[in-house]
């Protein structure tokens, strides 16, 4: 999907790394709600995109961040059946957060907090405090924070949350959930 997005944005296939650098250098203000989608894509492209292109870029970008792994969704169902509170904390701009809220699995979550709505991104400590409050659990050591970025996990751990750096193996999540139920 990265290649598709880069191609749509007018970057050649051999420039994927350069495209990703431009993408990530503008993403933080977009995710926090400081930039709207036109501002973000203008920063990435170096010029303001035509409305039709902007619509297509938004659709592909949103699809990139809202793909799900059926194995992880099955684990969410399992956690819901065990009555575990689950809060989605995501660095997501408004279009992505709206799409996540509309997803079938979103109802499994107790709550969802998005950077664009909070006005700040992970790894800002207050994002984790907001998520912890949404769980209704006062002891951060009883909360498992799962994220695909090591820096976000490290920030959560500094606040006392148990953290799992997710690298694509649902078995890792399952093992941590199993360990948590044994410890409780």
Cis peptide before 123 (omega within 30 of 0): yes
CA distances from 34 to 58, 131, 136, 149 (A): 17, 21, 29, 22
Beta bridge partners of 165: 147
Q: Give the closest residue to 98 by CA, choosing from 50, 147, 65, 53.
A: 65
The percentage of the chain sitting over the pLDDT mark of 70, rounded to a whole number, equals 97
Backbone angles phi, psi at 143, to 5 degrees: -115, 130
The angle formed by the CA atoms of residues 82, 136 and 81, to the nearest 5 degrees, is 10
Average pLDDT on 61-71 reads 94
User: pTM (2 decimals)?
Assistant: 0.90
- Interval 151-176: pLDDT, tens: 999 999 999 999 999 999 988 888 88
- Interval 91-136: pLDDT, tens: 999 999 999 999 999 999 999 999 999 999 999 999 999 999 999 9
Measured between alpha carbons, how far is 154 from 182 in angstroms, rounded to an integer?
A: 24
């Amino acid at each position: 999907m990265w290649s598709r997005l880069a191609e749509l944005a007018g970057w050649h296939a051999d420039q994927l790394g350069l495209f990703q650098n431009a993408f990530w250098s503008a993403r933080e203000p977009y995710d926090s709600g400081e930039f709207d989608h036109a501002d973000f894509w203008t920063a990435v492209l170096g010029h303001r995109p035509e409305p039709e292109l902007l619509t297509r870029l938004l659709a592909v970008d949103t699809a990139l961040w809202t793909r799900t792994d059926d194995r992880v969704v099955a684990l969410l169902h399992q956690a819901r059946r065990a009555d575990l509170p689950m809060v989605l904390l995501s660095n997501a701009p408004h279009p992505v957060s709206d799409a996540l809220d509309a997803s079938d699995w979103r109802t499994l979550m107790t709550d969802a907090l998005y950077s664009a709505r909070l006005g700040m991104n992970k790894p800002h400590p207050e994002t984790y405090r907001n998520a912890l409050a949404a769980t209704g659990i006062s002891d951060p050591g009883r909360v498992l924070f799962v994220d695909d970025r090591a820096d976000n996990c490290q920030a959560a751990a500094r606040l006392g949350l148990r953290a799992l750096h997710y690298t694509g193996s649902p078995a890792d999540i399952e093992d941590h959930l199993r360990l948590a139920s044994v410890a409780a």
